[in-house]
Structure 1
Amino acid sequence: MSDSLTAETVRIVGHDGDEIEAYLARPQGENRRGGVVVIHHMPGYDRGSKEIVRRFAELGYDAVCPNLYFREAPDAAPDDAAAIARANGGVPDERLVGDVAGAAAYLRALPTSNGKVGVIGYCSGGRQTVLAACHLDVDAAVDCYGAFVTGTLPEGFPLKVTNLVDQLPGLRAPLLGLFGAEDKYPSPEQVEELRQILTDNGKDFEFHSYEGAGHAFFSTDRPSYNVAAANDGWERITAFYAKHLGA
């Protein structure tokens, strides 16, 4: 398979029919393949998120990352857009589900689509991945250290979110969870709570926690980057999507 790919900024139809910006990367060739919706982390629609989109294209998938902050800050730099979004309480859950649904529909409409779509998210995007997988018909979901899927939000937390405990029985897709054992949000106790809920409800999932890794261990441009955890995590993501989306 060629490692050539194309990447571009596109517009997709998101929640409530809104047209929003998104970053699309596709491998060369017309072979049928799965798609991946990348949900960016709280710092926003930034260079690191776009690098992840291109990595999935290199792995053989059509991949797209919607700019979740586009409505509030269409022309702002990622840091500024993220600050505006935080000041507004974050991305409303209903809107997030609508934007991911639009991104999945965009991927399934591509002529190369095999009809299968996975979703993956990091940090706040990890929680949003689980949220989306509870409400949308996706084929696989990957939660990378998503905070507040379970547990209680700390007092004064700036985002207007709740945990997803009441929604977890409705999880519709196999879930891969990748966590840092030194993380506080989610803590090992919160990950264990999630494991127990999914087990009790007969869900298809697999979790991996990495000793010595904290939050954001995939972020190559941050001090939290953990080479061993990130490399193993990518291997597990690759195998998981190959199983559920087709190589």
Structure 2
Amino acid sequence: MSYSPSGSLTATTISLTGHDGDEIEAYIASPEGGERRGGVVFIHHMPGYDRASKEVVRRFAELGYDAICPNLYSREAPGASPDDAAAVGRANGGVPDDRLTGDVSAAAAYLRALPTSNGKVGVIGHCSGGRQSVLVGCTLDVDAAVDCYGAFVTGTIPEGLPIKVTTLVDRLPQLDAPLLGLFGDQDSHPSPEQVAELGRILTENGKDFEFHTYEGAGHAFFAVDRPSYNVAAANDGWERITEFFGKHLGA
């Protein structure tokens, strides 16, 4: 990984050809310079393609990566505010898994086609995006995956859940990417028991993974604009993400 001390970067909105040939919006940021580097696909959370998601993309660019976030709600609510688009997405049952992997595949291909690419791409997401990051690691050719408290990877889907989702238990044997998991011991989705179940399944299948669970942290402990924000857990989590991607995506 090539860290730019100046922190200079460029960021813009582009159009991608996503799943089924649909044109979708995406936000991309890159550090200054033409040196070879890895790429990061950031999967936004259920609240949508919002300011917080774009800030994460820019942070990865500042760390030395080409980073991109596809707008998963481009089809349902083009041009809508993040809150309105997320509401439409929830009303439709969330983002279907096959569409998600198609959109992320397009984003990863875009990064690998950049002249600065070293050919390596990682994926990361929080909450619903954490589950989707694991899904991508089980489905697509990526070099690293980070699951930040992804709900419904294991366990049981609650009755009456307003989104259409399944666990990934049957897909976990196909995980090919190294996986970093960051969780809070006060979270209920995923609960410590569900995290333990995930670790057991990955161990039984000989997968490359590392998990860290933070004492006193609940769900969304990375979210700086929410009461759930946990400074110690978030800071340590960012250090672990930086080290993990540096190991697997660095030049």
Indicate whether 1:36 and 2:36 are aligned: no
- What is the CA distance between 1:87 and its match in structure 2? 0.4
Q: 1: distance between equivalents of 2:32 and 2:68? A: 15
Secondary structure (helix, strand or coil) at the match of 1:213 reads coil
Q: 1: distance between equivalents of 2:176 and 2:48? A: 26
Q: Which residue of 2 aligns with 1:4?
A: 8
Equivalent of 1:13, from 10, 14, 17?
Answer: 17
Equivalent of 1:234, from 235, 238, 248?
Answer: 238
- What is the CA distance between 1:28 and its match in structure 2? 0.3
Q: Which residue of 1 aligns with 2:156?
A: 152
Q: Which residue of 2 aligns with 1:211?
A: 215
Q: Which residue of 1 aligns with 2:174?
A: 170
Unpaired segments ≥5 residues, structure 1:
none
Unpaired segments ≥5 residues, structure 2:
none
- What is the CA distance between 1:172 and its match in structure 2? 1.1
- What is the CA distance between 1:129 and its match in structure 2? 0.4
Equivalent of 1:75, from 51, 76, 79?
Answer: 79
Q: Deviations over 1:67-109 (max 9, x none)?
A: 0001000111111111100000000000000000000000000
Q: 2: distance between equivalents of 1:158 and 1:80? A: 17
Q: Deviations over 1:128-156 (max 9, x none)?
A: 00001101010000000000000111111
Secondary structure (helix, strand or coil) at the match of 1:146 reads coil
- What is the CA distance between 1:230 and its match in structure 2? 0.2
- What is the CA distance between 1:180 and its match in structure 2? 0.7
Secondary structure (helix, strand or coil) at the match of 1:137 reads coil
Amino acid aligned to 2:209 = F
Q: Which residue of 2 aligns with 1:99?
A: 103
- What is the CA distance between 1:30 and its match in structure 2? 0.1
- TM-score, normalized by length of structure 2? 0.97
Report how many aligned residue pairs link the two structures: 247
Equivalent of 2:88, from 80, 84, 90?
Answer: 84
Secondary structure (helix, strand or coil) at the match of 1:172 reads coil
- What is the CA distance between 1:7 and its match in structure 2? 0.5
- TM-score, normalized by length of structure 1? 0.99
Q: 2: distance between equivalents of 1:47 and 1:3? A: 19
Q: 1: distance between equivalents of 2:16 and 2:117? A: 16
Q: 1: distance between equivalents of 2:140 and 2:232? A: 32
Q: 2: distance between equivalents of 1:50 and 1:181? A: 27
Indicate whether 1:200 and 2:204 are aligned: yes
Secondary structure (helix, strand or coil) at the match of 1:23 reads strand
- What is the CA distance between 1:196 and its match in structure 2? 0.1
Q: 1: distance between equivalents of 2:145 and 2:124? A: 6
Q: 2: distance between equivalents of 1:64 and 1:216? A: 21
Q: Which residue of 1 aligns with 2:224?
A: 220
Q: How large is the RMSD of aligned CA atoms in angstroms?
A: 0.6
Secondary structure (helix, strand or coil) at the match of 1:158 reads coil
Q: 2: distance between equivalents of 1:13 and 1:105? A: 10
Q: 1: distance between equivalents of 2:134 and 2:66? A: 21
Q: Which residue of 2 aligns with 1:112?
A: 116
Equivalent of 1:45, from 18, 24, 49?
Answer: 49
Amino acid aligned to 1:20 = I
Q: 2: distance between equivalents of 1:79 and 1:202? A: 40
Indicate whether 1:54 and 2:35 are aligned: no
